[in-house]
Each structure stands twice: as structure tokens, then as C-alpha cells.
Amino acid sequence: MYKIIKTIIAVFIIAACFLAGCKKDSYYYDTGVHQAKYDGTILDYLKAKPFIFDSLVLAIKVAGMEDVFQKENVTFFAPPSSCIHKAIVNLNTDLRNNGKDTVSQLGQVQPQVWKDMLSEYLFKGTYLLKDIPQIDTLALSAFPGQGYVSYGGRTMNIGVFYNSANGVKYVGYRQLILSFIPDFSNPTVGLLNVPIATSDIQPTNGVIHALQFQNHVLGFDSRRFITAAESAGISKPTQ
């Protein structure tokens, strides 16, 4: 009996040490234990997560941007494939309502459209969560985040939201938010915010912040993608 008790105690000690070790080398958020460093490029990382990013990888290829994600030093707010799927579903609904053929392949949407949209999530240089100023979406006059010029030349707002804990403001966990600015004459009005699910993933050529997939569509507003895709012209599907 004494030996059994000693064995149980030893197991608990080993488990506790293991958990303590995990907390030193990893952080927890949404996706569980996560190693910040990744031995590969941004594109390599996206390809290694096909369940989350397969359509994104294909969109990058159609856009002709593979070299950007392989060779340039950039920060990418990566939209999961579900965000791209929503954009295509909305586009097809609009095409169908107007008596037009729908899209069955991402390549039917013109490369420039994909490039323009993806470039709004992409920034030259490396920006970790610690480098970004605070944003409070309910008190933008006090904590507005900051404007950053995207890869495509459009200014986007990025900020770190300080959550509350036990009823105390700004002492909880910190979460990045990427925001689309609809009206530059009123840059704090009507921001289209998308929270980040996992931040500070660090491949060899930059940083990835993975967006939450809920309620987000590529382009921030479904009409923007629809208008851009239809204006550029829909190609016939390839065989």
C-alpha cells in the first residue's frame, strides 16, 4: 500500500513539472499550447496548417504573392480559409441573383483582386504584440491604437485590447485587433474590427497573427469583395 501511495505521489510530481515546463516555453490562447518560433517561412507555416489555411494558400498562389510570403520580411494578419469561403459564398449569391454563372474555383476571381485584398492584412517589417499601442474600442479618444500602412498602401488601424479581469479594467489578457477604416476623414468612426486568435507566431521571415474566423469575411465587408471581383471580371473555370 505504501509503495502504491509513493507511486501516485511521484506521478503527480512529474505531471506538475511537465506543466510548469510547458508554461515556460509556450503560451496558451484559444488553440492551446503554442510554440512561438517556427523553423520555416510564413508560407511554409500556412502550408503546414491545411485544415486552417488551405484556401488562403491557394489565394496567395492565385495572387502571385508566393515570393512575398517566402522571401520578404513581413507581418501577416492571416485570415483562415473560412473567411475566404464566406467571401466566395457571398459573391456567388450575388452572381446567382443577377442571373450570372457562379464561381467554382478561386482562380476565376482575377489575381489583382486577391492581391489587393490580401495586401490589407500584410505589413512590411516585423510587429509583435508588444510593439503595438493600446486600443479601447469603447474609448478611442483615449486609446485609439495606431494607423499602419499596409503592403498595398492602405492605412489600417492596429491596436492591443486590454481585457478586464475580476471587474478591473485593463488588467486582463491582451489581444490584438486589426481594423479597417471606412472613412479616413473620420478615422475613429465605424471601424470594422477583427480580433486575433493567436498572435506572435514567428517564422524565419516575419510574424503571423492568426485572425479569429467567426463573423469575418475577406475584405472586412462582403460588398467590397463582391464589387471588386465583379468589376474585374469573372473568368471561366479551368478544366
pLDDT of residue 32: 35
Residue 151 has pLDDT above 90, yes or no: yes
Q: What is the pLDDT of residues 180-228, one digit of tens each?
A: 999 999 999 999 999 999 999 999 999 999 999 888 999 999 999 999 9
Distances from the Cα of 54 to the Cαs of 4, 44, 80, 82, 217, in angstroms? Answer: 49, 12, 8, 10, 16
All structural domains of the chain with their residue ranges: 1-26, 36-232
Query: In CATH, which superfamily holds the domain spanning 36-232?
Result: FAS1 domain (2.30.180.10)
Distances from the Cα of 4 to the Cαs of 10, 14, 165, in angstroms? Answer: 10, 15, 41
Task: Report the distance separating Cα 208 and Cα 200, nearest Å.
Answer: 6
Average pLDDT, the chain: 87
Residue 3 has pLDDT above 80, yes or no: no
The whole-model pTM stands at 0.84
Task: Report the distance separating Cα 182 and Cα 191, nearest Å.
Answer: 7
Reported as a pLDDT band with limits 50, 70 and 90, residue 35 is: low
Sequence-separated (6 or more) residues with CB below 8 Å from residue 42? 69, 70, 74, 76, 203, 205, 206, 208
Reported as a pLDDT band with limits 50, 70 and 90, residue 10 is: very low
